[in-house]
DNA sequence: TTGAAAGCGCTAACAG
DNA sequence: CTGTTAGCGCTTTCAA
């Protein structure tokens, strides 16, 4: 039932297992006749090599790990598509691990993939991640780690990012040009480089337009839907609520819409909003949502390509592979001025 | 650098590798003192067992495969969350494979996970899957396969489904009650059991209301966005376009909205629409989308639970685990009558 | 309570 | 061209 192996092929053909192994790998030192006999039987018996036995010897698991905060998020889902397409092309298998934005989960995951389970790791860190010993430990064990989107700047490796500062800048500038005087910035972390950069872009735009930045205009959200809902509700129930909002994380835009709907606050009349989002449905929201859209698929693709290039080298060379892929501001009705 | 192993621990402690192995597994036949010494050194050196070596001996890979058509779809993304939470709880690792709705991809994937790579498989078949030899082959090799959502009815195993017939029925009935006379049904397959059941429910509802069913009212879509867009466009550009639409697949509702927006066909005035969807954004679409919402997370959870129960048995017993989890019709503005 | 040794399935060096 | 053999890291009898 389970397990037709090399030994079985060998005994059925009355040849040695070494010959079978070589035949299966199309070695030059095996006669054509033997190869054909082996291949024929292998096909007949539906032989598939036990990957873990090969891995034990060969040192390559043909497996990578993708460690991300969440999969029910269109950015990460699309990234996975990008990663998978490259992995597939290279004959690699993809293990998925979700941190759910928890640092201790992230630590536990990296720990458990340390010894041989994977050849490399592609990750986007959790919003709680501030120190990086767990990541460096992995690197020290010879397992390359590549970052995409949420990178750790202090770590020397390939980093695929998008132009977060610029995106935050443009989003804010766009709102200002639409007449917003009082802009709120929704974020999930003050630790994440990506969040910081978006916020810095935001502040720079304010500054360039001689507008004041106030710490109170930052709304910190987290992984708890109910908490976020309350926070946004508290913000919007004020008489003098903001007239512009930047949701620097996809799901926060959705929550914001829900709150506005509930309070009957009209978008874009009373408040304009821009979401950082890859939602296909952004265009058909009520009203359609102006977005900063990241090249999610391409970023996943680039991260995987970077990883495989590293895996192909004897000595890892990280520097050159890093890249910044531009996001696009797509203007829709949620920031339209007229009406 | 790479690879602190049992041998290393043993030599540093001047004991045998057998003792180390037993100590690490907290065997009763090892003294407390020795256990502590081993554990201490293991922790110090950050020892993690090579999973593939264990797997080679033990026969368990502690890994399952999830084989699905697509990940950038909120139903599947949420299902993965449900699967992952159970896998995590059982100390299992999750390999993700995407078929992209292609049968040959599906075959190739099942082939490559045949020999020891995984202990079990959770899958939702591609829209092209009509015969099932590849799946049965896996079962014959002793690898249990559990289905969720898109099941193969002919195969004896655990199947987690939702009440597709009922959902199709209720969706149609709701449209009829809203006054629709001419209802179009969007699907991606006439082979998939799930699609058939939804369609059968649709037909039954029509029949119950003495309405005629016409083959022309079925719109076949596929995995090609552009194709679907054209098909829906052709449908809606007719003078006498349908006044009701059931999108039996999530993404088709989005496409439908786009087409209506382009043609300035008002929803729900000129046409009402129901989507089979788990999109969080359904409530804030323009107009908000009436949906049939599946219990995606719970279905993934149930499928994984079923698989682990099977893995815990000596002799597999499929029958009892199958279950049908109800979907919910959530009425929103896209089918509102008044206005 | 500890250790020696066989072996999981495969690969690769070396011999024939 | 084919076969013998050692060994990857681990678990598990069986002996000591």
Q: Considering any atom of strand D, list protein residues whose CB lies within 7 Å.
A: A 14-19, 22, 28-34, 53, 56-57, 115-116; B 3, 5-7, 17-18, 21-22, 24-25, 49-50, 53-54, 56-58
User: What pLDDT score does B318 carry?
Assistant: 63
pTM, to two decimals: 0.94
Record the tokens describing residue A284, joined without a space: 């058909």
Q: Does the pLDDT of residue A311 top 80, yes or no?
A: yes
- The percentage of chain A sitting over the pLDDT mark of 70, rounded to a whole number, equals 97
- Residue A313 banded pLDDT, cuts 50, 70, 90: confident
- For residue B287, which residues of chain A lie inside 8 Å, CB to CB? 286
**Integer Rg of chain B from CA:** 26
Q: Does the pLDDT of residue B169 top 50, yes or no?
A: yes
B281 closest CB neighbour out of A95, A96, A281: A281
Beta bridge partners of B227: none
A56–B52: do the CB atoms touch at under 8 Å?
yes
Q: Does the pLDDT of residue B320 top 70, yes or no?
A: no
HEC assignment per residue over B233-301:
HHHHCCCCCCCEEEECCHHHHHHHHHHHHHHCCCCCCCCEEEEECCCHHHHHECCCCEEEECCHHHHHH
Q: What are phi and psi of A252, to 5 degrees?
A: -70, -30
**Integer Rg of chain A from CA:** 26
- The percentage of chain B sitting over the pLDDT mark of 70, rounded to a whole number, equals 97
Instruction: Give the mean pLDDT of A250-261.
Output: 94
- In sequence order, which residues have a C-beta less than 8 Å from that of residue A131 and are 6 or more positions away? none
Instruction: Give the mean pLDDT of B29-52.
Output: 93
> What is the spatial distance between Cα B111 and Cα B136, in angstroms, rounded to a whole number?
11
User: What pLDDT score does A128 carry?
Assistant: 93
B15 CA, C3 C1': Å apart: 8
Q: What is the pLDDT of residues B244-274, one digit of tens each?
A: 999 999 999 999 999 999 999 999 999 999 9
Instruction: Give the mean pLDDT of A109-138.
Output: 95
How many CA atoms within 13 Å lie on the side-chain side of A310?
A: 29
Which residue's C-alpha is at the least distance from the C1' of C12? A18
- The percentage of chain B sitting over the pLDDT mark of 90, rounded to a whole number, equals 88
B78 touches B296 (CB < 8 A)? yes
- Residue B314 banded pLDDT, cuts 50, 70, 90: low
E strands present in chain B? 63-68, 93-98, 120-123, 145-148, 159-162, 183-187, 218-220, 244-247, 272-276, 290-293, 323-325, 328-330
Confirm whether any atom of chain C, the nucleic acid strand, is less than 7 Å from CB of B9.
Answer: no
Q: What is the DSSP letter of A285?
A: B
Instruction: Give the mean pLDDT of B99-113.
Output: 96
Q: Does the pLDDT of residue A337 top 80, yes or no?
A: no
Which residue's C-alpha is at the least distance from the C1' of D5? A18
Q: What is the mean pLDDT of chain B?
A: 93
Q: What is the pLDDT of residues A263-274, one digit of tens each?
A: 999 999 999 999
Q: Does the pLDDT of residue A168 top 50, yes or no?
A: yes
| Exposure string over B319-329, b if 16+ CB within 10 A, otherwise e | eebbeebebeb
Q: Does the pLDDT of residue B111 top 70, yes or no?
A: yes
> What is the spatial distance between Cα A199 and Cα A191, in angstroms, rounded to a whole number?
11
| Nearest chain A alpha carbon to B285 | A285
Q: What is the pLDDT of residues B175-230, one digit of tens each?
A: 999 999 999 999 998 999 999 999 999 999 999 999 999 999 999 999 899 999 99
B130 touches B189 (CB < 8 A)? no
Q: Does the pLDDT of residue A64 top 90, yes or no?
A: yes
> What is the spatial distance between Cα A315 and Cα A328, in angstroms, rounded to a whole number?
36
B56–A51: do the CB atoms touch at under 8 Å?
no
User: What pLDDT score does A319 carry?
Assistant: 62
Distance from CA of B156 to the nearest CA of A (A): 17
Sign, CA torsion A145/A151/A156/A160 = positive
Instruction: Give the mean pLDDT of B146-164.
Output: 95
Q: Does the pLDDT of residue A339 top 50, yes or no?
A: no
Beta bridge partners of B1: none
Instruction: Please give the torsion angle defined by the CA atoms of residues B302, B306, B307 and B313, in that order, rounded to the nearest 10 degrees.
Output: 160
Q: What is the pLDDT of residues B51-71, one digit of tens each?
A: 999 999 877 899 999 999 999
Record the tokens describing residue B5, joined without a space: 């192993």
Determine the nucleotide nearest to B59 by Cα–C1' distance: C8
Instruction: Give the mean pLDDT of A122-141.
Output: 94
Instruction: Please give the torsion angle defined by the CA atoms of residues A131, A135, A137 and A140, in that order, rounded to the nearest 10 degrees.
Output: -130
User: What pLDDT score does B120 carry?
Assistant: 96
> What is the spatial distance between Cα B246 and Cα B244, in angstroms, rounded to a whole number?
7
| Nearest chain A alpha carbon to B64 | A95
> What is the spatial distance between Cα A286 and Cα B160, in angstroms, rounded to a whole number?
34
| Nearest chain A alpha carbon to B75 | A72
Q: What is the mean pLDDT of chain A?
A: 93
A55 touches A62 (CB < 8 A)? yes
| Region of poorest pLDDT, from A69-73, A329-333, B220-224, B318-322 | B318-322
- For residue B55, which residues of chain A lie inside 8 Å, CB to CB? 52
CB pairs under 8 A between A and B: 149
A23 CA, D1 C1': Å apart: 11
For strand D, the positions having any atom within 7 A of a protein Cβ are 1-5, 7-13
Q: What is the pLDDT of residues B272-304, one digit of tens each?
A: 999 999 998 999 998 999 999 999 999 999 999
- For residue A84, which residues of chain B lie inside 8 Å, CB to CB? 71, 96, 98
Record the tokens describing residue B332, joined without a space: 């929103």
A281 closest CB neighbour out of B3, B48, B254: B254
Which of B81, B69, B72, B84 shows the shortest CA–CA distance to B295?
B81
User: What pLDDT score does B98 carry?
Assistant: 98
User: What pLDDT score does B319 carry?
Assistant: 63
Q: Does the pLDDT of residue A223 top 90, yes or no?
A: no
A77 closest CB neighbour out of B72, B116, B288: B72
First-to-final CA distance of chain B: 70
- Residue A58 banded pLDDT, cuts 50, 70, 90: confident
B47 touches B9 (CB < 8 A)? yes
Which of A174, A283, A260, A62 shows the shortest CA–CA distance to B285?
A283
């Amino acid at each position: 039932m389970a397990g037709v192996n090399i030994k079985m092929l060998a005994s059925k053909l009355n040849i040695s297992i070494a010959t079978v192994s070589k035949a299966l790998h199309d070695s030059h030192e095996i006669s054509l006749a033997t190869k054909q006999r082996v291949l024929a039987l292998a096909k007949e018996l539906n032989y598939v090599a036990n990957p873990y036995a090969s891995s034990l010897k060969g040192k390559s698991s043909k497996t990578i790990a993708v460690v991300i905060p969440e999969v029910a998020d269109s950015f990460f889902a699309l990234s996975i598509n990008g990663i998978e397409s490259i992995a597939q092309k290279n004959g690699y298998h993809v293990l998925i691990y979700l941190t759910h934005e928890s640092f201790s989960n992230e630590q536990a995951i990296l720990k458990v993939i340390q010894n041989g389970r994977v050849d490399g790791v592609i990750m986007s860190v959790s919003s709680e991640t501030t120190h990086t010993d767990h990541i460096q430990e992995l690197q020290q064990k010879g397992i390359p780690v590549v970052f995409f989107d949420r990178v750790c700047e202090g770590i020397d490796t390939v980093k695929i990012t998008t132009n977060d500062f610029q995106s935050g800048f443009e989003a804010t500038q766009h709102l200002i040009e639409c007449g917003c005087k009082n802009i709120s910035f929704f974020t999930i972390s003050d630790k994440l480089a990506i969040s910081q950069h978006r916020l810095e872009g935001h502040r720079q735009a304010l500054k360039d337009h001689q507008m004041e930045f106030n710490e109170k205009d930052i709304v910190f959200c987290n992984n708890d839907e109910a908490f976020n809902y309350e926070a946004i509700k508290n913000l919007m129930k004020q008489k003098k609520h903001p007239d512009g909002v930047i949701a620097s994380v996809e799901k926060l835009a959705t929550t914001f819409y829900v709150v506005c709907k509930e309070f009957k606050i009209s978008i874009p009349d009373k408040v304009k909003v821009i979401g950082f989002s890859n939602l296909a449905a952004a265009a058909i929201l009520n009203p359609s949502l102006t977005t900063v859209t990241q090249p999610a698929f391409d970023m996943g693709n680039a991260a995987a390509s970077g990883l495989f290039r590293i895996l192909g080298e004897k000595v890892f060379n990280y520097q050159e592979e890093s890249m910044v892929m531009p996001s696009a501001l797509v203007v829709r009705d949620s920031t339209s001025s007229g009406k």
